[in-house]
Amino acid sequence: MTTFLSLFVALPIAALVWEASSEGTQSFWEAVSSPEAVAALKLTLGTSFAVSLLNAVLGTITAWVLVRDDFRGKSFVNAIIDLPFALPTIVAGLTLLALYGPTSPIGINVAYTKTAIVLALMFVTLPFVVRTVQPVLQELDPELEQAAHTLGASQTTTFRRVILPNLVPSLLSGVALAFAKAVGEFGSLVIITGNIPFQTEVSSVYIFGRIESGDSASAAAVSVVLLVISFVTLLSIGAIRHVATRHDRA
Amino acid sequence: MRKLGLRFVALGYLAVILVGPLSIVFWRTFEDGFAPAWDALTTPETLHAFKLTLIITAIAVPVNTVFGILAALAIVRKKFPGKSVLNAFIDLPLALSPVVVGLALFLLYGREGWFGGWLNEHGIQVLFALPAMVIATIFVSIPFVAREVVPTLQEVGDEQEQAARTLGATGWQTFWRITLPSIRWAVIYGVILTTARCLGEYGAVAVVSGRLQGQTETATLRVQERYESFDLAGAYAISIVLALLAILVLVAMTVIRPREETAH
């Protein structure tokens, strides 16, 4: 089993790191700090950060509505939350373009803009926060909220002092997962952003372009940066889980 | 009142991001009836693309199912050095860009890659052919079975397994009669997620396949090729089939999830 993992995961990654470092730190640094690569990375991190924040707010609200609210068709709404996971990303990009692109029936055209990137990333990361926060909310006794209410707390105070502290660990790991997914996203962005260098070209698309033009050293260098971001994000999720379960372990 | 406001925000958010765009694609595809969509789907290249996607999925899913169960057993039941590293590596495909995965495999199996020379000498074509596409798909869908099975294994504990062993069952018997039945819904759920991920893989396969029409083009690659050739109807038609598969996956998830949760 360890052989399987080394063969399928560790070895390719070793090849990647090797390629990025084979020509020395100097050329690695040049590849990573080229203006186009830096612009792409800034755009990637900026949009991913924005999308993570949007997810934190809208995902928590959606999870709350799914747990505490009751309306007809709720189970249908609950089921479609996972659709972005099941739907191929390239199809996600195409569907967004159908409604918000040049042939939009409602006259909104954001194709080839940063707004399109944010929309596509919101689509593909939609399930993460909802699905990490929802089970915690389900376990949370509604009587806690009612007690706070009876003691005179306003709804905002109840949320801030009673609900939110319980949600923080799951919310953070959901947001971190969404961030990691957003940083690496490729399929849904290929069609919808037009991939204009310095404007709508994110890192994964930049890497793809470098591979296509035969410059695998630069592609590998930028890939290593994304790899490090993925690893750090995963490790922080692990740390959040570790801290959050400290009472159970004690 | 507050409740209604939040419900409005949540449903509006889902409508803008999810339901709206999908409805438009369904509407656009069947605007002129079923015939054009059917014609777009039955071209030899498109049929080949779907066939290729199914072949890749049919290989990757069983491989990852077996691996996922073994990995979960090792993570929950065994203590060994480097366990946390194993844990991190299993999750890595979730967080890593598929393009980076594709590049890593490209560097390993390409002409100048680590294995490229040896493979070339022996006349084995991996890159720009089915093997690399299968490997890429396996890579991106590694975590799903293991991640579903681990929590279930943790909850069922190992008392029954120990009892079976005390009563003289072999390791193999214990696995088939005790362990597997208690984790079966988690395995099935994981298999569904893996299948969805395999059918939809795009980025990693885009890098390692070479995207040769009628040869190494999967269904998702075909969507993009049709779009770039200004054949929107074709791109929509393939997308609809993929979306229907996704909805099928969703239905399966909805049916299986409660069983998985009560099985805990």
- Give the C-alpha separation, A177 to A132, whole Å: 10
What would the two tokens of residue B51 be? 């066939």
Q: Where are the beta strands (DSSP E) in chain A?
A: none
Report the percent of chain A where pLDDT is more than 90: 66
B220 interaction partners in chain A (CB closer than 8 Å): 88-91, 187
DSSP-derived letter for residue B15 is I
- Which fold does the domain A30-243 belong to in CATH? MetI-like fold (1.10.3720)
**What are B118-177's pLDDT values in tens digits?**
888 888 888 999 999 999 999 999 999 999 999 999 988 889 999 999 999 988 999 999
Half-sphere exposure of A224 (CA within 13 A, CB side): 20
Closest to A69 (Cβ–Cβ): which among B3, B94, B100? B3
Q: Residue A27: pLDDT above 80?
A: yes
Contact A68 B3 (CB under 8 A): yes
Contact B88 A234 (CB under 8 A): yes
Secondary element (H or E) of residue A46: helix A35-68
Query: Which of the two residues, B32 and A193, has the higher pLDDT score?
Result: A193
pLDDT score of B88: 76
pLDDT tier, A154 (very low <50, low <70, confident <90, very high otherwise): confident
Number of residues written out for chain B: 264
B139 interaction partners in chain A (CB closer than 8 Å): 8-9, 12
**What are A174-231's pLDDT values in tens digits?**
999 999 999 999 999 998 998 899 999 999 999 999 999 999 999 999 999 999 999 8
Closest residue on chain B to A178 (Cα)? B95
Closest to A187 (Cβ–Cβ): which among B86, B203, B227? B203
Contact A1 B22 (CB under 8 A): no
Closest by CA to A65, choosing from B59, B9, B257, B146, is: B9
Cβ count near A74 (within 10 Å): 14
pLDDT tier, A249 (very low <50, low <70, confident <90, very high otherwise): low
DSSP letter string, A149-217: HHTT--HHHIIIIIIHHHHHHHHHHHHHHHHHHHHH--HHHHHHSTT-TTTT--HHHHHHHHHHTT-HH
pTM: 0.93
CA distance B155 to chain A (A): 14
- Which fold does the domain B35-263 belong to in CATH? MetI-like fold (1.10.3720)
- Give the C-alpha separation, A12 to A128, whole Å: 27
Tell me what ipTM this predicted complex has: 0.92
**For A150-167, what is the mean pLDDT?**
87
A7 CB near a chain B CB, below 8 Å?
no
Contact A16 B107 (CB under 8 A): yes
**Mutate: best of A58, A87, A212, partner B, most B CBs <10 A:** A87
What would the two tokens of residue B237 be? 């038609």
pLDDT score of A248: 66
**Mutate: best of B29, B54, B67, B97, partner A, most A CBs <10 A:** B97
What would the two tokens of residue B65 be? 């199912």
Contact B253 A71 (CB under 8 A): no
Cβ count near A44 (within 10 Å): 28
What are the domain boundaries of chain A?
30-243
What would the two tokens of residue B213 be? 């029409």
